[in-house]
Amino acid sequence: MTVSFKDKVAIVTGAGGGLGREYALELARRGAKVVVNDLGGARDGTGHSDSALQVVEEIEKAGGEAVSNGGSVTDFEQMEKMVADAKQKWGGVHVLINNAGVLRDKTFAKMTPDDFEFVLKVHLTGSAFVTKAAWETMREQAYGRILMTASSTGLFGNFGQANYGAAKLGLAGLTKTLQLEGAKYNIKVNTLAPVAGTRMTEDLFPEQAFKMFGPENVVPAALFLVSEDAPTNAIVGAGAGGFHSAWVMMNDAVWLPEDERTVEGFAANWDKISAQTGLHAPNNGGEQSGAILKAMQAVMGDAAPSSTRG
């Protein structure tokens, strides 16, 4: 079955180069009308360029429809205008890929508060701003596909990227709540953790690996996750032709009786509390409380409060 974006309007942020450019080009090839957003700055967020216009020209030369937008994801009013302009021109906004990002890598000891705050503002707050700008339109039309760009740094950590990792795991958390709030409006929200050789990572990869990890290899995952038949609440990793899923997991709760609820009692049970057995991925935060109540009932049986049963 061919995945089509005919009659869909897509916004891709940070689409002037790298991953965003590849997403925009492929969305257009598959029939989407594309807003190519890019502030056009350097990877640390400074400066401007006409990179978005160049991507629009590529799309138009291939017979597609696109417009450029130079707004900053950190400016909510600019993002509102971007969405309003797309809606006025094409009637709606159906797909949003939050891809814009910056790097200011340093060890935490050397990182300035400004470097920390700015990276969070672009990645996390910026993605929230663009999503908020499009959210009501998606609710009204009962259709939306949103992709947040996380990272292995956010999911698993990476030396020298405290700001980036905090922002990226925050985006996975944002996804988990928005997919719940959007469900009844047919809004699906997913998280992608790409590994790609781009301007952002060119000094992190050896030359041969840089070519292997071309951004085009991430496109299949990204576009599936914003397609009509997309899942929701998925976390997917992609790079160099390899794809995997990741989950936020918890094990079965260990319920400690009152006389063991001390620091020493917790320490004595740490092996069980930290065991990687009985793992499952909750669908919402309430399942954490449910797991604790279940553990209590297993220990207390009929003595457990009736409100914990069921």
Active site residue 185: no
Is residue 35 within 8 A of residue 52, CB to CB? The reply is: no
Single-letter amino acid code for the residue at 41:
G
User: How far is Cα 44 from Cα 102, in angstroms, rounded to an integer?
Assistant: 5
Give the chain's count of helices (H) and strands (E): 12, 8
Residue 84 to residue 183: CA distance in whole angstroms: 23
74 pairs with which residues across the strands?
A: none
Q: Choosing from 23, 143, 164, 185, which is the catalytic residue?
A: 164
Instruction: List all residues 6 or more positions away from 235 whose beta carbon is below 8 Å from its beta carbon.
Output: 150, 155, 172, 175, 190, 191, 192, 193, 245, 246, 247, 248
Q: How far is CA 204 from the centre of its chain?
A: 22
**Active site amino acids:** 164
